[in-house]
C-alpha cells in the first residue's frame, strides 16, 4: 500500500531541478496501490524519428516506480534503490503525453517488483516496464539526506 498522505503536489515539488523535471515528468494520480505520472512527447523525450525515445520510456518507468516503492515502505526504517529495469517498447507515441502507472507485483522484505504500464492519451499501451527495487535499512547517512530533502 502506498502512503497516500503524501500529496501529488509535494511529489512534484521534490522533482524540481532533477532528472525527472528535465524530462518534464509530473505525477498526476495516486491510489493506495498505484502511482501515475505523465511525460510530454516533445524535444526532450523524442528520438530523431519523432517518437518517444526508449530511454525516455525507461526514465518514466524508473521515476514513477521508484517513487511508488519508496512510498510503500516504512521510511523510518528503510529506503529503496533501483536494481534493474526492463522496458518493452510496443507502440510509438509521437505527440501529447504518455502516462506511466506503477503497481506492485511483489512487495518483499528486501526486494520489490513493480510493473509500469505506459499508455498514450488514447489509453493504448505504448511500453511496459518491470522494475526491481532493493529495500535497504535506513542508515544514519541516508536518514540525514531524507530529513534534508524528503518527507
Tell me, what's the pLDDT at 17? Answer: 85
pLDDT digits (tens, 9 = 90+) for 9-66: 999 999 888 999 999 999 999 999 999 999 999 999 999 999 999 999 999 999 999 9
Tell me, what's the pLDDT at 151? Answer: 59
Out of 29, 62, 122, 141, the active site residue is: 62
The domains located in the chain, with CATH, are 8-149 (3.10.129.10)
Tell me, what's the pLDDT at 147? Answer: 82
| 26 catalytic residue (yes or no) | no
Tell me, what's the pLDDT at 27? Answer: 98
Q: What is the DSSP string of 82-127?
A: EEEEEEEE-S---SSEEEEEEEEEEE-SSEEEEEEEEEETT--EEE
Closest CA to 57 of 18, 102, 16, 99: 99
> What's this model's pTM, rounded to 2 decimal places?
0.94
Tell me, what's the pLDDT at 15? Answer: 86
pLDDT digits (tens, 9 = 90+) for 89-143: 999 999 999 999 999 999 999 999 999 999 999 999 999 999 999 999 999 999 9
Amino acid at each position: 500500500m502506498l502512503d497516500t498522505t503524501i500529496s501529488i503536489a509535494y511529489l512534484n515539488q521534490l522533482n524540481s531541478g532533477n532528472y525527472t523535471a528535465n524530462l518534464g515528468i509530473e505525477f498526476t494520480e495516486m491510489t493506495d496501490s498505484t502511482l501515475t505520472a505523465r511525460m510530454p512527447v516533445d524535444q526532450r523525450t523524442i528520438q530523431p524519428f519523432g517518437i518517444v525515445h526508449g530511454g525516455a520510456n525507461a526514465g518514466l518507468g524508473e521515476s514513477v516506480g521508484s517513487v511508488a516503492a519508496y512510498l510503500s515502505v516504512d521510511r523510518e526504517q528503510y529506503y529503496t534503490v533501483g536494481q534493474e529495469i526492463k522496458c518493452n517498447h510496443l507502440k510509438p507515441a509521437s505527440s501529447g503525453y504518455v502516462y506511466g502507472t506503477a503497481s506492485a507485483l511483489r512487495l518483499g522484505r528486501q526486494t520489490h517488483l513493480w510493473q509500469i504500464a505506459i499508455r498514450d492519451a488514447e489509453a493504448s499501451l505504448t511500453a511496459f516496464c518491470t522494475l526491481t527495487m532493493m529495500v535497504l535499512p535506513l542508515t544514519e547517512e541516508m536518514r540525514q539526506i531524507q530529513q534534508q530533502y524528503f518527507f
